[in-house]
Amino acid sequence: MRRIAAVSVLVVSWMSGPAARGEPTFEILRHEVDGGGTAQLFDGGPPVSDSISGDFPDDGVVGFSASDLTGIGVGHSLISVSGFSSFNNPPNGSDTLGVFSDLDGGYIGDGPNRPGGTTSGTWSSIIEFVMPVDRMEWEFIFTQTESSTFTQSSMVTVENVTAGDMLVSTTEPFGFVTELSGSVGDVLRVTAAYAVDGFAPPGASGLLNSNARLRSSFTIPEPNALWILSFGIALCVSARRRGIR
């Protein structure tokens, strides 16, 4: 019975977070954002604006949103602009760090009242973190959307600040999955800079929009499963030799 209990402790420890297991985890150093925008329908009302600026290394999601609408629900028109930046790194650590940054501008013309409108916004975000291991699995996806009178401009870069290496620099949609090599303790920086502008003429119906979106993830490779099994067996054998039955 005690041998079974020993194995159970091993399994629970492995299923808990990396920090609880004493394994490498991601450390966020910087989550700096600066952005804002304005949206206005051509219905005689004032423009709606929102903005945010600062460094929020302890906040996983930060952003702004400005929307102007003729009413709530179906049959109403809306124009808006919003930007956000986020990272998913639970307090107890995670094998994967996700980094996201978006800017969206859009118009929906619906119902009898379709006044049209205009919107514009900018967004920049910088996320810096410490490389916890010397090799990571890296997925990078950057997309853009434009439609008729809604346009965008954008640029995304990824740097190894410590090594002075520019890993990615793009203004066009781009994606890949690869292995990222460096040194433990290297500072990596992910930067996004976006701008959107949109115009919907009076009477416009349907959806018009533009956006720029970054999805990037960094994953610490899992230890070899055979090594884990061997380690568990070694613990059980050691316990038995010590007379634990």
Strand residue runs (E) in 10-74: 27-41, 48-55, 61-69
Q: What is the DSSP letter of 147?
A: B
149 or 74, higher pLDDT: 149
When pLDDT is averaged across residues 218-238 and rounded to a whole number, the result is 56
Residue 25 or 49, more confident: 49
pLDDT for 241: 45
* Local confidence band at 50 (pLDDT 50, 70, 90 cut-offs): very high
154-175 pLDDT tens trace: 999 999 999 999 999 999 999 9
The residue among 96 and 10 whose pLDDT is bigger is 96
Q: Which of 112-116, 218-222, 223-227 has the lowest mean pLDDT?
A: 223-227
Please give the pLDDT value at position 24: 83
With cut-offs at 50, 70 and 90, classify the pLDDT of residue 22: low
Q: Any idea how long the chain is?
A: 245
The residue to which tokens 């003729």 are assigned:
70
Find the range with the poorest average confidence among 83-97, 137-151, 182-196, 206-220. 83-97
What φ, ψ does residue 114 adopt, rounded to 5°?
-125, 85
Location of structure tokens 């959107």 = 196
The percentage of residues in the chain with a pLDDT greater than 90, rounded to a whole number, is 72
| pLDDT of residue 211 exceeding 60 | yes
pLDDT at 74: 79
Q: For residue 215, is pLDDT > 80?
A: yes
Q: What is the overall mean pLDDT for the chain?
A: 85
CA distance 108 to 187: 42
Q: Is the pLDDT of residue 66 over 60?
A: yes
Residue 217 belongs to what H/E stretch? strand 206-219
